Amino acid sequence: MPPHSSHLLQPLDVGCFSPLKRAYGHQVEICMQLGRNHIDKLDFLEAFKPARAAALSSSNICSGFAAAGLVPHNSERVLSRLQFKLRTPTPPASETVIAARQTPKTPYTVAQLAREYTTIKGLLERRLKSPPSPTEQALKRVVKGCQMAMHNAALLASEIKDLRAMSARQKRKREAPRSYIASGGVLTAEEGQERVKRARIADEAVLDKVSA
């Protein structure tokens, strides 16, 4: 199916549904003119019945199939209405642009390292035009070592973040003033829940500060 042509090739859209939409909209306008601003199920059925009778007629259905070039078969009725636009082919990239894309960059993640390795490997293959050379094998080992180092660095960073958060919570607990229940006093459930809530909010604030 050519692009932007579905409205021309679907007979029910062409001959039935569009007129049905207009007819139903006309019935709704009549209801609004009479002060009925809300359409419930009964109002819908009442408005849809005359709209359906007006739109889904035999003549509209036949004209829809004819406009789509189906019955009788006439493909020119659709092809003559299509508008084709010639597109200018994209010029090939210049050597300067290609060289800029192939210029190695310092990778900071494992994904960037993999992309740079693929780029350098392609450059070596094009220049040497031979099976894998010792240089390529050495490069592969270096890349593998860098990947392992990056993974270890990511794990260490996560562990350091967790340790800092734990240390901050412990420090806050040590510095927090201790509250005691007086002898013979009573701690109500509401007061206990309020203290737990304040402690949880303080912990979340510490975690947000460490994460930032």
What one-character DSSP code corresponds to residue 130? S
What distance in Å separates the CA atoms of residue 109 and residue 106, rounded to the nearest whole number? Answer: 9
Residue 24 pLDDT grade (very low, low, confident, very high; cuts 50, 70, 90)? very high
> Which domain covers residue 30, as residue numbers?
6-79
Higher pLDDT pick, 11 / 35: 35
The total domain count for the chain is: 2
Mean predicted confidence (pLDDT) in 173-177: 68
pLDDT for 85: 63
Same domain, yes or no: 172 and 99:
yes
What distance in Å separates the CA atoms of residue 53 and residue 47, rounded to the nearest whole number? Answer: 11
What one-character DSSP code corresponds to residue 12? H
Mean predicted confidence (pLDDT) in 189-207: 73
What one-character DSSP code corresponds to residue 181? P
Same domain, yes or no: 37 and 106:
no
**C-beta of residue 60 within 8 angstroms of C-beta of residue 15:** yes
Give the predicted TM-score (pTM) of the model. Answer: 0.34
And the tokens for 169?
A: 């919570």
Mean predicted confidence (pLDDT) in 160-164: 87
Same domain, yes or no: 51 and 123:
no
pLDDT for 88: 67
